[in-house]
């Protein structure tokens, strides 16, 4: 056998070995794709069923046992009913107000406190930081918090959903770590030029903190939008209930959704379709906001959580 034949044989053997070695890897990748596809179906399936049920008619819902996988004759009548100016529309306005105002107030309080705690040499820095950390592990409890809210005259007020929870210790710590990672030379140069702390915070720190502000703002917005327990405790007037408490009333307590026959001339939609329509409406706002903040979310959380 010549040297050339030996080289060709070795190359073929190497290719065969490489091919055989890739076969288990390809099978593993295929198994991963199948497993992830099944997981996606389990996650997406309930959402599809909820949307399909909200569009289905009473006959199909009855045949499906209360849930429909795909509507045969889709109709938006359930959404027309809940948007006729009744309790659901009013609750959406309440939730929007609480979410927007609460997020703005929470971001303001959290960023100011985090910036103050990030500044070296601040008076009582360690004491205040320890006080913030203590609130992460110990809570005042339901009854003392209720009495405090009552003492401040916030019962049956929308501000009772915002003021007691306007600052989160975890978010303060994460934002403080982010501020500490900012280049110190920027603030030192601003101090030399005569800028005060508020000027530095507003003109230098905040423009550089868009990722962490987007991440923390998303945390606060989701918390305010999904909150129902504090509303259940502090709001006795049902006209001030947020959408999540109204949703709980219809889904958990099985309350009947009122249908205005003067507005809806045709056959009214079944109650399961109305309940699923309210559920879809309660999910849409956060689902629409999240994609615009997703690019900042990971960057903000990783930067704020790692020191150095």
pLDDT tens figures, 140-187: 788 888 999 999 998 999 999 999 988 888 899 989 988 888 888 888
Q: Among residues 108, 89, 55, which one has the least CA distance to residue 282?
A: 89
Rounding to the nearest 10 degrees, give the CA dihedral for residues 24, 29, 35, 37.
-150
Q: Which residues of the chain have pLDDT under 50?
A: 1, 3, 7-8, 18-20, 304, 308
Q: State in Å, rounded, how far the first CA of the chain is from the last one.
A: 63
Say how many CA atoms lie within 13 Å of 259 toward its Cβ.
18
Q: What pLDDT does residue 161 have?
A: 92
Please name the fold of domain 77-305: MetI-like fold (1.10.3720)
CA distances 135 to 109, 165, 287, Å, are: 16, 12, 30
Q: What pLDDT does residue 225 have?
A: 92
Instruction: Report the run of H or E that residue 69 belongs to, with start and end.
Output: none
> What is the tens place of the pLDDT at every residue in 299-308?
655 654 555 4
Q: What pLDDT does residue 102 have?
A: 94
The set of residues, in sequence order, having a beta carbon less than 8 Å from that of 174 and lying 6+ positions away, is: 212, 216, 301, 304, 305
Structure tokens at 153: 């005259």
The whole-angstrom separation of Cα 176 and Cα 117 is 7
SS3 readout for 283-306: HHHHHHHHHHHHHHHHHHHHHHHC
| Backbone torsions φ then ψ of 228, nearest 5 degrees | -135, -25
The set of residues, in sequence order, having a beta carbon less than 8 Å from that of 107 and lying 6+ positions away, is: 213, 216, 217, 220
Q: What pLDDT does residue 82 have?
A: 83
SS3 of residue 280 by DSSP: helix
CA distances 198 to 194, 204, 205, 211, Å, are: 12, 10, 10, 20
Domains of the chain, by residue range, sit at 3-63, 77-305
Q: What pLDDT does residue 260 have?
A: 57
Burial class of residue 200, CB neighbours in 10 A (0-12, 13-18, 19+): buried
pTM of the model: 0.80
| Cβ 54 vs Cβ 278: under 8 Å | no
- Cβ neighbours around 289 below 10 Å, total: 16
């Amino acid at each position: 056998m010549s040297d050339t034949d030996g080289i060709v044989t070795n190359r073929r053997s190497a290719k065969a070995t490489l091919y055989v070695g890739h076969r288990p890897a390809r099978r593993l990748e295929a198994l991963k794709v199948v497993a992830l596809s099944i997981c996606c179906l389990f996650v997406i399936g309930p959402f599809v069923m909820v949307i399909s049920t909200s569009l289905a008619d009473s006959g199909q819902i009855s045949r499906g046992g209360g849930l429909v996988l795909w509507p045969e004759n889709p109709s938006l009548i359930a959404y027309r009913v809940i948007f006729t100016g009744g309790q659901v529309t009013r609750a959406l306005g309440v939730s929007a107000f609480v979410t927007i105002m609460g997020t703005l107030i929470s971001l303001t309080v959290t960023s100011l406190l985090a910036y103050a705690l990030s500044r070296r040499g601040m008076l009582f820095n360690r004491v205040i930081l320890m006080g913030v950390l203590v609130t992460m592990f110990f809570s005042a409890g339901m009854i003392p918090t209720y009495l405090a809210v009552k003492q401040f005259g916030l019962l049956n007020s929308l501000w009772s959903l915002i003021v007691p929870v306007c600052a989160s210790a975890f978010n303060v710590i994460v934002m403080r770590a982010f501020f500490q990672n900012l280049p110190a030379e920027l603030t030192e140069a601003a101090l030399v030029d005569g800028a005060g702390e508020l000027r530095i915070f507003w003109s230098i720190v905040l423009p550089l903190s868009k990722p962490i502000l987007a991440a923390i703002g998303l945390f606060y917005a989701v918390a305010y939008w999904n909150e129902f327990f504090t509303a259940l405790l502090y709001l006795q007037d049902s006209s001030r209930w947020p959408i999540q408490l109204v949703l709980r009333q219809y889904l958990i307590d099985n309350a009947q959704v009122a249908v205005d026959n003067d507005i809806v001339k045709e056959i009214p939609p079944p109650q399961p379709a109305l309940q699923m329509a309210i559920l879809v409406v309660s999910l849409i706002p956060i689902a629409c906001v999240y994609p615009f903040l997703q690019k900042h979310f990971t960057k903000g959380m990783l930067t704020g959580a790692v020191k150095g």
